[in-house]
Structure 1
Amino acid sequence: MSELFTTFVPKFQSMLIGREEEIYQLEEAYSSSESEFVAIYGRRRIGKTYLVRETLKGRFTFFHAGVSKFPAKGQLKAFYNSLVSQGYTPSQIPKNWLEAFQCLSTYIQSKKEKRKVIFLDELPWMDTPKSDFLPAFEHFWNGWASARKDILLIVCGSATSWIIKNIIHNHGGLHNRLSRSIRLKQFTLSECERYAASLHMKMTRPQIIEAYMIFGGVPYYWSKLDHRFSLAQNIDRMFFADNAVFKSEFDDLYASLFKRPEPYLKIISALGKKKVGMTIEEVSETTHLPRNGTLTKYMTDLEACGFIRLYSSYGNRVKGAVYQLIDNYTLFYYRFLSSKRITDEGYWSKIQTSPAYANWCGLSFERICLLHIRQIKKALGIGGILSNEFSWRTPPYADLPGVEIDLLIERADKVFNLCEMKFTKNPFTIDKKYSANLQNKVARLKDVTKTKNAIFLTMITASGLTSNEYAGDVQNTLTADDLFD
């Protein structure tokens, strides 16, 4: 990167974990000689507002956040109050958004700063029914701000689908008007480890992984950990106690992201029951949602929020594309909270040795691996080799069982890494039966796809691999520590 990156980032390292690229983008927009329009999007609790506030602290000319569930009149009054509180000379409350943005223009013109930073948070909440907010906002940018050289306009909001539809993919007055769009993703395991340390949590890497199975890389969830308690005690306190802080989090999460969360929840519920994922046709059949552009939009919105991933099936890259639920918190919710009335406030501490817990750990560890493919490639020494990732599955044939491969890495050097992911507290042992299963996967992949690539069996385990007569069949062995790189 340019010197700009090395100049800007150290200033904020003590306040922000990770986010180096996002900080760079914001600082570059701030230093631009032109007016810039930046949209930041991502799921609720991911840290959008925190990123902007910490990066541009002390440099805002105007900041306002929309108010949840306020009507147009209330939104306008709140906007006006923000103007007055930040130095605007009081006049009268604007009657509509055209007047409101005219007030903002007048206020900005009175400021002497070289760069005028305008941050509008929770923008979707300001767009109430019949308020004509969007046309007025378009007019503000197109008719005034974009013609200047000194404006940095930043918008974001929890309702990701609104941001994507009305700002990023706008086909009206804001079409192609964005200077930059920043999708804020979840923390990696390494970033969560650093964040936990900043919270004074004494956690081993296995505990970091377990917490990631529940929280994913959502900073807000991690921020609620209390260093006085063990991880299990924290989970009981946060999810299973009478006054648990995340008692209603699931409903709040999807309601904040989508104005009509019902179809999204149908999709999430269906995907939550399918480990390997579903094609869009299977999603439509299961949820009874019509297979049309609307369903595709729902899937795109969920993918943009990081709840699901879309990946191709090897040999059928378009038609066989599969959607898979990848959000760890949602998986945790469906497994332990959605249909259970748990009254035991120490529930999580007591199920650590149960089959249900072990089964969930196995599934969640696979999802963690799929969220850390870059780290897997680096550990395999193929970070610099062009590659693509696929799933692959084939039904039973004759007396041969069906095969499911969650991660198949196709490399430009004519090699497949057939990845198997296993979570055990002790080193994983490949026995005779499991060895036969692995060899069947290799044989079926060769037979069905007719590939001429070499196939490297690759084990990714939480605690290593036991050395025995079958371990030699595996070409690559990675451990959970490799996911932290």
Structure 2
Amino acid sequence: LEEQQLLEDIYNTNRADMLAITGRRRVGKTYLVRNYFLDQLHFELNGILNASLQQQLQNFDIAFKKFTKNKYAKKLPVANWIEAFELLTKYLDNIRSKKKLVIFIDELPWLDTHRSGFMAAFDWFWNTWASRKNILVIICGSASSWMTNKIINNRGGLHNRVTKRIHLRPFTLSETEAYLKFLHINLSRYQILELYMAMGGIPHYLKELKRGQSAAQNINRICFAKNGLLANEFDNLYNALFLNAKQHIGIVEALASKSKGLSRAEILTATKQADGGTFSKLLNELEQSDFISSSQPFQKVKKETVYRLTDEYSLFYLRFIKNKKNINWQQLAALPTYKTWSGYAFENICLKHILKLKEALGITSVYTEVSGIFYKGGPKEKGAQIDLLIDRQDSVINICEAKFYDKPFTVTKAYAEELRNKLAVFQQKTNTRKSLFLTLISPYGIVPNQHSIGFVQQEVKMDHLF
């Protein structure tokens, strides 16, 4: 893995290094560090959510006793963070090792409680002691925006002190398939795709899967059973990351209510929140934590940025799990809402696997820009929505349609007419001189017939996304 190679490279340097690891909660940041370094960690401290300063310091005392085997028991308890880091330096100074010292501070944002003095003490620890040693300080946090603002873009004593950064993203489809094989779970790619649409490539969620159960059975047990891991994960997830998470959740709910991206103005209208810097911060925090994504509409300016809810679990929860009791997933999957959700979720997966999509289209080396368009239309003109456009430097634009079906998709006469309208509206509104290639993405491809042959220029199947 790329991340493991980076850990190896930084461990083998002969200098002081600070590595910042960010990523969505439950994505496997802690596992990556512990699994790679195993018994090579000289100290590890884990922040506690919503704990007081006294509780966090008690937590330090317990961790310190564990790693020092009670050799410094008379120096405990520590009264503040300066004392804590000073004691840590004395312990580390007494370690006789030719190899790099490694300390790991997990969920660092939770340690920085109000008026705790943690950041000032950590600054002191790094600049007066650690920066002169052969040491690797790994700091980790699920609140990616906090890590970026307080550490990576720090303007004080920690300015430019982070030497390497890992932003750990969820598994791709191919990584998810490999992980399930590691767990000895044998599912078809279509069923893996169904699971991915519901819970994404989050290792913590995927390890709840049981061998011998279908995707539908696993989803039913994990998401809808009373004690299912994901039945009540949503509020815990957002409240663990954000202060006043109600505002963040409001934005996510607004985006989940529409099967298309929303502009900033549309989100403001839906949430009734005030425009300004605070709202910009909310959007930025959600995007940095990998819950939403932003893109520019085709040929549009930056102020018209479009936002999409791209966290699979959040979308699935808000569409199906929230406020529902005694529901069977197989029953829900037969409702019209399933078709709407599955189409949007499948589009999101295509957007996340754009490199695989380009590879399938044979344009890996061609410079491209990915965007979408939405024309509302009016009394005298038809509208059009295209969620995935691949604008190519070789004078071609792939107009992509994603259709999630459990068999080869059939282009009907009515659907072909709808697609022709989309192409006509796009041509008229953009005045593009590029060739338009209608591209259909569906798990099992399309059925060749009079409406698809010669009209659909390229097709992509789910195997191409793995």
Global fold match (TM > 0.5): yes
Alignment partner of 1:481 is 2:466: no
Partner of 2:431: 450
Helix, strand or coil: the match of 1:392? strand
The amino acid across from 2:336 in the alignment is: P
Q: 1:199 and 2:199 equivalent? A: no
- After TM superposition, the structure 1 stretch with the greater mean CA deviation from structure 2, 206-215 or 274-283, is 274-283
Following superposition, the deviation at residue 366 of structure 1 comes to 1.4
Distance 1:397 1:449 in 2: 17
Q: Are the equivalent residues in 1 in contact too, given 2:143–2:289 (CA < 8 A)?
A: no
Among 206, 216, 228, the alignment partner of 1:244 is 228
The answer to whether structure 1 residue 289 and structure 2 residue 270 are counterparts is no
Contact 2:262 2:306 in 1 (8 A): yes
Say yes or no: does 1:380 pair with 2:380: no
1:161-310 superposed matches below 5 A: 161-310=145-294
Query: Structure 1, residues 128-150: CA drift from partner, whole Å, max 9, x if none?
Result: 121111111111112221122x0
2:371 maps to which of 390, 397, 402: 390
Judged with a 3 Å threshold, the aligned counterparts in structure 2 of structure 1 residues 278 and 234 are, in CA distance, closer, same or farther, namely: same
Structure 1 residues not aligned, in runs of 5+: 1-19
Counterpart pick for 2:123 among 127, 132, 138: 138
CA contact (8 A) 2:176 2:201 kept: yes
Report the 3-state secondary structure (helix = DSSP H, G, I; strand = E; otherwise coil) of the residue aligned with 2:303: coil
C-alpha distance in 2 between matches for 1:245 and 1:146? 42
The alpha-carbon deviation at position 58 of structure 1 amounts to 2.1
- Give per-residue Cα distances to partners, 1:361-388, cap 9 Å, x unaligned: 2221111111111110111011111111
Q: Structure 2: where are the runs of 5+ without partners?
A: none
Larger mean CA deviation between 363-372 and 305-314 belongs to 363-372
Q: Which amino acid aligns with 1:89?
A: Y
3-state DSSP class of the match of 2:444? coil
Asked whether the 8 Å contact 1:66–1:122 carries over to 2, the reply is yes
Counterparts of 2:265 and 2:49 in 1: how far apart (Å)? 35
Counterpart in 1 of 2:340? Answer: 359
Q: Is the 8 A contact 1:271 1:277 kept in 2?
A: yes
- The question of whether the paired residues in 2 share the 8 Å contact of 1:160 and 1:258 is answered with no
Question: Which residue is equivalent to 2:72?
Answer: 89
Name the residue aligned to 2:108.
Answer: 123
Worse-superposed segment, 224-233 or 473-482: 224-233
Residues in 1 aligned to 2:227 and 2:311: alpha-carbon distance in whole angstroms: 24
Which whole-Å deviations, capped at 9, do the CAs of 1:430-457 have from their partners, x for residues lacking one? 1222112212222222221111111111
Contact 1:386 1:411 in 2 (8 A): yes
| 8 Å Cα contact 1:161-1:257 kept in structure 2 | no
C-alpha displacement of 1:399: 3.3
Q: Does 1:343 align with 2:309?
A: no
Please say which of residues 281-290 and 129-138 is displaced more in the overlay.
Answer: 281-290
**Counterpart-to-counterpart distance in 1, 2:27 and 2:260:** 26
SS in structure 2 of the partner of residue 259 of structure 1: coil
Query: Helix, strand or coil for the counterpart of 2:91?
Result: helix
- Distance apart, 1:359 and its partner CA: 2.9
Do the aligned partners of residues 401 and 388 (structure 1) sit closer, same or farther apart at CA in structure 2, a change above 3 Å counting?
same
> Could you tell me the TM-score, scaled by structure 2's length?
0.96
Bigger mean CA deviation after superposition, 447-456 or 155-164: 155-164
In the other structure, the counterpart of 1:427 is 408
Q: Could you tell me which residue of structure 1 aligns to residue 301 of structure 2?
A: 317
Q: What SS is found at the alignment partner of 1:385?
A: coil
Per-residue CA shift, 1:333-386, capped at 9, x if unaligned? 01111132x224xx1133343333333222211111111111101110111111
Corresponding residue number in structure 2 for 1:11? none
Query: What residue is the counterpart of 1:156 in the other structure?
Result: 140
- Kept after mapping to 2: 8 A contact 1:405/1:418: yes
On the 8 A contact 2:18/2:164 being kept in 1, the answer is yes
- SS for the counterpart of 1:389 is strand
Distance 2:320 2:312 in 1: 12
Letter in 2 for 1:285: T
- Contact 2:259/2:340, CA 8 A, preserved across alignment: no
Q: How many pairs are equivalent?
A: 461
In structure 2, what residue type is equivalent to 1:399?
A: K
Amino acid in the other structure paired with 1:271: L
**Structure 1 residue 332 displacement after superposition:** 0.6
Query: Equivalents in 2 of 1:316, 1:359: separation in Å?
Result: 27
RMSD, matched Cα: 1.5
User: Does residue 411 of structure 1 match 2:395?
Assistant: no
C-alpha contact (below 8 Å) 2:14/2:100 kept by paired residues: no
Shift of residue 464, structure 1, vs aligned partner: 1.1
Amino acid at match of 1:481: D
Give the match for residue 46 of structure 1: 27
Amino acid at match of 2:307: Y
Q: Is the partner of 1:187 in helix, strand or coil? A: coil
**Would you say the 8 A contact 1:379–1:478 is kept in 2?**
yes
| TM-score of the pair, normalised by structure 1 | 0.92
CA distance in 1, matches of 2:140, 2:90: 23
For residues 93-122 of structure 1, give each alpha carbon's deviation from its aligned partner in whole angstroms, at most 9, with x where no partner exists: 111101110011111111122200010111
